[in-house]
Amino acid sequence: MALLALATVTTILAELVLGPVAVPLGDVFSAVVGQADQATTAILVQIRLPRVLTGIAVGAALALGGAAMQGVLRNPLADPGLIGITGGASLGAVLVLVLGDVLFSGVPDVLRPYLLPLAAFLGAVFVTAFIFTLARRGGTLSVATLILAGVAVNAVAGAFIGAMTFISDDEQLRSLTFWSMGALGGANWTLVIICCAVVTLTSILMLRYARDLDLFQIGERAAFHAGLDVERAKLRLGLLTALSVGTVTAAAGPIGFIGLVAPHMARLILGPAHRLLLPGSALIGVVMVMSADLAIRLSVPPAEPPIGIATSLIGGPFFLWLLLTGLKRGRIGA
Amino acid sequence: MLEASGVSVRYGNRLALDNVNLTVRGGELVVVCGPNGAGKSTLLAALTGDARLVAGDVQLAGHSLSGQSPADLALGRAVLEQSPNLSVAFTVAELASLGLPQEISPADAAALTQDVLTRLDLHAFRHRPVPELSGGERHRVHLARVLVQLEAGRRLGRGHALFLDEPTASLDIAHQVTVMRQALHFARRGVGVFVVLHDLNLASAFADRIVLLSAGLIAADGSPSDVLTAAQLGQIYGISFTAEPGPMNRPRVIPDYHLRQEVADIAWRNERLSTGR
């Protein structure tokens, strides 16, 4: 755990220091105390810092959301993407990107930049609420219903996104494509602050559910017998996940693999007990997002390609490797 | 201690339990038997606060189960499910301490868990991941988890009842006896123990009282020698039984398989096959 924390701090500092213009570590500290020159301060405050903060929020939110969903659904493949939260967020964002000018022509220019993230966030919340309502009709929230509803929602969202792509013009198509690949650099300061506040709050609340998530692992009936209010825990964890994942998807687009891989890695390193697994996942999520962003930015300077490409490129094979070595040692599954 | 009065449970339009009255006193080991679909698991669910009652009430230590929070219920009673399972690789100690209530101090919790693990011969395994254990050992760890929860409840002045739903179904005969001995151990210390069993002879050997369920109704309720009669069992299970008197007034029950006739049939068929006719 200490090593994880160290890795997290290191990657965060590297993300601040490295880039098209290298800012030595000393200058970073000077900037903190207000003694650096204007250009350096500008780079740090206007470009690097929002990027780092967005990255931390994205990493922590996706990893915790993934850990929570995997825990509640007792399914190592469950992540926020699977149950449709990301799909809902994407649909909201794409609607704004393509139809924004038509639908929101009355919105003052000052508020324009917020439309995209707001729509993505609302999409995520709407989908989560819809799925939970649908799944709750039978009285208890069945895992199978939830996942299947997620599949259906993703399909519908995909169809709408396809239709939007079809009717969009060249410029819209470009921004749509970039947003949907995920990027940390797109967020402005207001959005970064909202994002960090929401993720900090939801993360602290989620960490309190470690024991509940442990109990989910013996099955819902047994968890109830052991004293867990199963329905309430599910509802709250679902809402916390929707809130945090929706917010970061709004800020940075749909970024894949973090919610799936980070909890897996945490489980391999720290074991399955959520008291360690949750904070461990969050740290690994941050490390993953930071490294992915660094790798992709440094590979083709000064261009800043979307981070989603990197997370999938690094996350996919790494996940496979973990899976294979983990299977050999018998730590995955049961 | 545990008192069910006029309890009815409905699944769809089928009445799974029909106006059942049952009392389990503290210190008593009650075994429920009956054919598949008789309502044994439903009765267990009703008594543990896990089923919605369409009529009646269940009280544990003088308090109705309805309206109690899951955490409150868990202090009052512990339940071993029919086929307990685990989706991740917790260690034996982690799984065993999973049911500990938050009210218990960490030191007490550790001591309690160690105590139960030792009693179930699991202490040496405490750091092993549960999925690496054999089926019987895994089942014993789940039993340990339930007993730790019950002990913790007792430590907090509760822990009135223990429920075991077919706890011996997947176990060899030695492990079956281990489980029933634990059940008896708690009964003798004042806990009301309620066990669902298919094995009539195991029931006969360990039960203070046997309840025979049939089609959602209590068909018989009494001591093993009162309940396990050939006539009664034949009527409920639809096959004929021989009940022999056993030690300590606990009958041995043997289903009459009409073995002689079947063996004769097989011998006759084999003979025909070998002579090629």
Select the more confidently predicted residue: A308 or B74: B74
- Asked if the model's pLDDT at residue A225 lies above 90, the reply is yes
**pLDDT band with cut points at 50, 70 and 90 for residue A123:** confident
CB of A127 within 8 A of CB of A57?
Answer: no
Residue A222 C-alpha, separation from nearest chain B C-alpha, in angstroms: 7
In this complex, do B86 and A229 lie within 8 Å of one another by their Cβ atoms?
no
- Written as six digits, the tokens of A272 are 């399955």
The one-character DSSP state at B91 is B
Q: ipTM value of the model?
A: 0.90
- For residue range A37-56, what is the model confidence (pLDDT) as tens digits? 888 888 888 888 888 999 99
In this complex, do A334 and B94 lie within 8 Å of one another by their Cβ atoms?
no
CB of B127 within 8 A of CB of B93?
Answer: yes
Q: In angstroms, rounded to a whole number, what is the distance separating the alpha carbons of residues A228 and A233?
A: 8
B118 Cβ contact list (under 8 Å, min separation 6): none
What's the rounded mean pLDDT across residues A77-102? 80
Q: In angstroms, rounded to a whole number, what is the distance separating the alpha carbons of residues B141 and B84?
A: 10
**pLDDT band with cut points at 50, 70 and 90 for residue B112:** very high
Among residues of chain B, what percentage have pLDDT more than 90?
A: 79
- Asked if the model's pLDDT at residue A332 lies above 60, the reply is no
Q: Beta B217-222 vs B252-255: how paired, if at all?
A: unpaired
Select the more confidently predicted residue: A255 or B251: B251
CB of A51 within 8 A of CB of A252?
Answer: no
Q: Which residues pair with B91 in a beta bridge?
A: B129
In this complex, do B84 and A218 lie within 8 Å of one another by their Cβ atoms?
yes
CB of A276 within 8 A of CB of A4?
Answer: no
Residue of B nearest to A268 (CA): B89
Kindly report which listed range (A139-148, A245-254, A281-290, B208-217) carries the lowest average pLDDT score: A139-148
Of the candidates B101, B114, B194, B212, the one whose C-alpha atom is nearest the C-alpha of residue B155 is B101
- Asked if the model's pLDDT at residue B2 lies above 90, the reply is yes
What's the rounded mean pLDDT across residues A206-229? 94
In this complex, do B129 and A331 lie within 8 Å of one another by their Cβ atoms?
yes
Which residue in this structure is represented by tokens 């519908």? A156
**pLDDT band with cut points at 50, 70 and 90 for residue B218:** very high
Q: Pick from B50, B87, B95: which is nearest to A221 by CB?
A: B50
**Confidence (pLDDT) at A141:** 54
CB of B42 within 8 A of CB of B9?
Answer: yes
Q: In angstroms, rounded to a whole number, what is the distance separating the alpha carbons of residues B160 and B41?
A: 20
**Confidence (pLDDT) at B269:** 79
The one-character DSSP state at B132 is G
Mean residue pLDDT of chain A comes to: 82
Interface test with B, best of A73, A75, A217, A225 (most B CBs within 10 A): A225
3-state secondary structure of B254: strand
Kindly report the pTM of this predicted structure: 0.86
Kindly report which listed range (A312-326, B28-42, B143-157, B162-176) carries the lowest average pLDDT score: A312-326
Burial class (CB in 10 A: 0-12, 13-18, 19+), A244: buried
Q: List phi, psi (to 5°) of B174.
A: -65, -45
Q: In angstroms, rounded to a whole number, what is the distance separating the alpha carbons of residues B230 and B253?
A: 8
